Structure 1
Amino acid sequence: MPQTLIRLSMLLLAIALAGCGVFGKEIDPTEGWSAAKLYAEAAAELDSGNYAKAVELYEKLEARYPFGRHAMQAQLDVAYVHYRAEEPEEAIAAADRFIKLYPQNPFVDYAYYLKGIVNYNRSVGFLDRYIPMDASQRDPGSALDAFNDFSALVEKFPNSKYAEDARQRMLYLRNNLAQHEVNVAQYYMRRDAYLAAANRANYVIEHFQRTSAVEAALEVLIEAYRALDKPELAADAKRVLELNRQAGRLTAAQPKPEKVDLARKLWEYFSLDEN
C-alpha cells in the first residue's frame, strides 16, 4: 500500500476512534454553558415535552453550579418534569428534596401542593381516563397520602394561593376514605363477619363525622347489631339515624374537584444570577 494511503487510513482511524471517546472523554456540547443557558435550555426541553432531556440538563446544572439560584430552581422544576412525565415516585422524591433543602423558600408551598396533586391523581387512578370508577373502591393509600400532603400545605401556608383548592380536595378525599371504610364493613356483612362490620361502621361514625358515609355506616350498624342479636344496640343506632335524617344533619356527597392543570412554577421574584 502506498505510504500516502497508509497515512490517510491512520488519520481516518484516529478520527473515528476520537469520535468514540477512545482518546478522551466524549465531547459534551453543553460544556462551558453558563447556569442561565443550561436552565433556559432545560426549560425549553420541558416545554417541548422532551422530559428525559430536560431532566438531564437540570441535573447537569445542579452538578456544575450547585450553589447558584438556578440550581435551586432546577430542583423544583425536576419535580414538575416528573409530574408531567407521569413518574409519581420521582416527582414526590424531588419535591421532598426541595422541601428539605429550602423550607423557607417563598415557593415551597408549590412543592407541597405538587406532592398532593401527584398522590391525588394516583388515588383517582389511571383507569378513570377510560372507565369511570368509584374512587372509594380503591386502595386508600394514595388518597391518605394526598390528604396528608394537602393538610400540611393548609396548616403551614393557610394563605397560599393553593390552599383553597387543597381544602376542597381534602373534603372530597375525606369522604372517599370514609366510604372506603363503609365498603369494607359491607364486605364483612356479606361474609357474615358481623362484629367486624359493626366495628368498621362505628369507626366511620366516630372518625368521619360530617361525611356522606355516616348514613350508610349507621345502616350497616343496625343490620350488624340485629345479626348479632343485640336488639337494643340496633334500636339505638336506628334512633340516631332517624333523628339525624329528620334534623337534616346528614351530609351530602362532595362533588369531585375539577382536574387541575398544574403549571411549572415561574421564578419572577428575584433577578437571576449569571453563573
Structure 2
Amino acid sequence: MHLHFAPMARCLGAAALVAVLAACSSTPKDETAGMSVERVYSEAREDAASGNYERAIRFYERLEGRAAGTILAQQALLELAHTYYRSGERAQALATIERYMKLYPTSAASDYALYLRGLINFNDNLGLFGRFSGQSLSDRDQQASKEAYQSFRQLVDLYPDSVYAPDARARMNFIVNSLAEYEVHVARYYFRRGAYLAAANRAQLAVQEYQQSPAVEEALHLMARSYDRLGLPELRDDALRVLRLNFPQSTFLSQSGSANLR
C-alpha cells in the first residue's frame, strides 16, 4: 500500500501562504493618517466625551507620538490617563499618569495630575453607600484610599489655591471618615465575638490614626467596654475620661459607666 505525501504537503504549504497573506492584509491601518495633529486631538476629545473610549485611547496614543516635544503631546498624555480612568482601566490610568508626572515634573498642569491620580485611587463606595449595600473594605481598597489621600494631600499642600483643592479637601475628609468607620466596624465585630483584645486594638487604631473623625466617639466607647471585659480598669477609665473630655454630650456615656459596661 502506497501513501502519497507530496500533494498533501503542497496543499499545506499553500494554506500556510494564504494564512500569512491574510495576516498581512489584516494589519490595522493608522486611522489618523493624513490628519493634522489638531484634528487628531479634536476627534480624540469628541470620542472621549461621547464614551467611545477605545477609539479615543488609540487617537491619544497616536497623537503623543506625532506631536512629541510639544505642549499638545503633554496634553494628549494627560487626557489619555483620564480616558483610561473613565473607561475603568485603573492600572493603565495609574501607569499613564505616573509616566506623565515623571516626564513633566514642572508642568503647569501638575495640580491636575495630582488630582487625577487621587481620583483614580478614590473609591466613593467606601462610606455610606458601602455600609448600606453590605460592602466591606478589603486591604486593597484601604491601600488605594490611603494612596488617594496622599495625592490629595500633596495637591492641597503644594497648590492650596488650585481650582481642584476644594474638592480634594472634601474627598480627604470622606476618606478619613470612611477608614475610621471601617476600623470601628471591625472593632465592633471582634467585640461581639468575644475577641476583646482585638476589638480594643482596632478601636485604638481608629482613635490614633483618625482623630478628627466622628467615628472616634464610638471607638473610645468600644475601647472602654473591651478593657472592662479584659479586666483592665485603668485602661477602661482612661478611655472613658477621653470620651467625656472630647464628647461630653455623647449618648455612649450613659452606656459606658463602669456599672453599665457589661
Q: TM-score range by the shorter chain?
A: 0.7 to 0.9
2:35 alignment partner in structure 1:
33
Alignment of 1:88-167 (within 5 A): 88-120=90-122, 122-124=123-125, 132-133=132-133, 137-139=136-138, 140-167=142-169
1:256 alignment partner in structure 2:
none
**Runs (5+) with no aligned partner, structure 2:** 1-20, 253-262
Q: Deviations over 1:7-50 (max 9, x none)?
A: xxxxxxxxxxxx96858976544323332222122222222321
Q: Deviations over 1:145-177 (max 9, x none)?
A: 221121111122111111111111111211111
User: Among the aligned pairs, what percent are the same residue?
Assistant: 40
1:171 alignment partner in structure 2:
173
Q: Which has the higher helix share?
A: 2
SS of equivalent residue, structure 2 residue 34? coil
Query: For 1:117 and 1:168, how far apart are their aligned partners in 2?
Result: 12
Q: Could you state the TM-score of these two structures normalised by the residue count of structure 1?
A: 0.73
Q: Is the 8 A contact 1:20 1:26 kept in 2?
A: no
SS of equivalent residue, structure 1 residue 138? coil
Q: Is the 8 A contact 1:82 1:90 kept in 2?
A: yes
> With CA pairs under 8 Å and 6+ residues apart, which has the higher RCO, 1 or 2?
1
User: Which of 37, 50, 56 lines up with 1:48 in the alignment?
Assistant: 50
User: Which of 186, 189, 192 lines up with 2:194 in the alignment?
Assistant: 192
Query: For 1:41 and 1:53, how far apart are their aligned partners in 2?
Result: 9
1:58 alignment partner in structure 2:
60
**Runs (5+) with no aligned partner, structure 1:** 1-18, 251-275
Q: Deviations over 1:161-208 (max 9, x none)?
A: 111111111112111111211122222222322222222222222222
Say if 1:123 and 1:141 are closer, same or farther in 2 by CA, change over 3 A. farther
Query: For 2:148 and 2:137, how far apart are their aligned partners in 1?
Result: 14
User: Which of 70, 85, 88 lines up with 2:87 in the alignment?
Assistant: 85
Query: For 1:198 and 1:47, how far apart are their aligned partners in 2?
Result: 49
Query: For 2:26 and 2:228, how far apart are their aligned partners in 1?
Result: 81
Query: For 1:27 and 1:168, how far apart are their aligned partners in 2?
Result: 45
1:71 alignment partner in structure 2:
73
Query: For 2:196 and 2:234, how far apart are their aligned partners in 1?
Result: 16
Deviation, 1:225, is 0.9
2:206 alignment partner in structure 1:
204
Q: Is the 8 A contact 1:75 1:94 kept in 2?
A: yes
Deviation, 1:232, is 2.7
Partner AA of 1:107 in structure 2: A
2:16 alignment partner in structure 1:
none
Deviation, 1:132, is 4.1
Deviation, 1:246, is 2.2
Name the Cα RMSD after superposition.
Answer: 2.9
Q: Could you state the TM-score of these two structures normalised by the residue count of structure 2?
A: 0.76
Moved over 4 A (4+): 19-27
